[in-house]
Amino acid sequence: MTPLDSTKEYFVTGVAGFIGFHLASSLLKQGCKVIGLDNLNSYYDVRLKRERLKLLGCGRFTFYHADLTDKKKLETIFQRHPITHVVNLAAQAGVRYSIDHPDAYIDSNIQGFLNVLEAIRNHPVEHLVYASSSSVYGKNTKIPYSIHDRTDEPVSLYAATKKANELFAHTYQHLYSIKTTGVRFFTVYGPWGRPDMAYYSFTKKILNNETIDVYNNGDMWRDFTYIDDVINALEHIIPRVPIDPVIYNIGNNNPIRLLRFIEALEEVIGKKANKNFLPMQDGDVYQTYADISDLQRDFGITINTPIEEGLASFVAWYRSYYNV
């Protein structure tokens, strides 16, 4: 692993988000300087985002409450700080939300990312790492999903915007020599996670004796990836500047059936869930399964936190955070 250089300055967008918070926290613990940006939108509980930010407060952390659509603010940030690395994690998340709120995805995921690329074009940095998503694989039926597979049949607007990000990055590297690496995340979970994710809402409802909605009658498979594995992968990727545009899958390489996932969560909580079985939702896919052979080849890392271990860590955090 190429070590992270604490003399560099790392700009993390979406820093109050789940992955952004964990990455910034790890960078700060290693003595790095972090400039963070987040618009603190209300897609989910803003209080959780503010609590994350409180934990990042130190002399090496500078926070900007701003939106990526604000080009002037981005210009100010790049003028004010000698940024060397950009990790763009800011985005409007959620497959289902994109069906009813398309404008939010165009603003944040398209215009926002374009503004980041333009800022870097005017203020060159060593490396741009940006978040894509496993959702780009869309209707792909070949498993496991390889970064060499076709990704031109998305089934949600969210997926389409993430595929567009990959195309934008490739174009800007070709035109302006901006060094870019895209990372396709596979169902990231863990402490300080996103309340809109199934594992989070299931935990809340099971503890409150509420019924959980189980789509496709529980016959769906997801490659759940623990947050610590994601941060480890990112910290290998960030210092290595690619010659050509590159993309990596970051997944556990071990899909779990939804019903088994619920069973594991029940075992950790010590309580059975009341289940409401429903058909597949629009925008959902039957299975996600990451081929991480390129990531393993280039960095020699292993991603294999068992779902039981990861859920135990999450539930312990949840009980502590909410005093339940």
What are the catalytic residues?
158
Instruction: Report the alpha-carbon angle 239-16-154, nearest 5.
Output: 75
Which spans in the chain are helix H?
18-29, 46-56, 71-80, 97-100, 102-105, 112-122, 157-176, 198-207, 227-237, 258-269, 293-299, 307-322
Nearest by Cα to 121 from 178, 53, 193: 178
DSSP labels for 83-124? --EEEE------TTHHHH-HHHHIIIIIIHHHHHHHHHHHS-
**Would you say 169 and 117 are in contact if contact means Cβ atoms under 8 Å apart?**
yes
Cross-strand pairs, 37: 13, 64
Contact status, residue 256 vs residue 287, Cβ threshold 8 Å: no
SS3 at position 181:
strand
Asked if 81 contacts 8 with a C-beta cutoff of 8 angstroms, the reply is: no
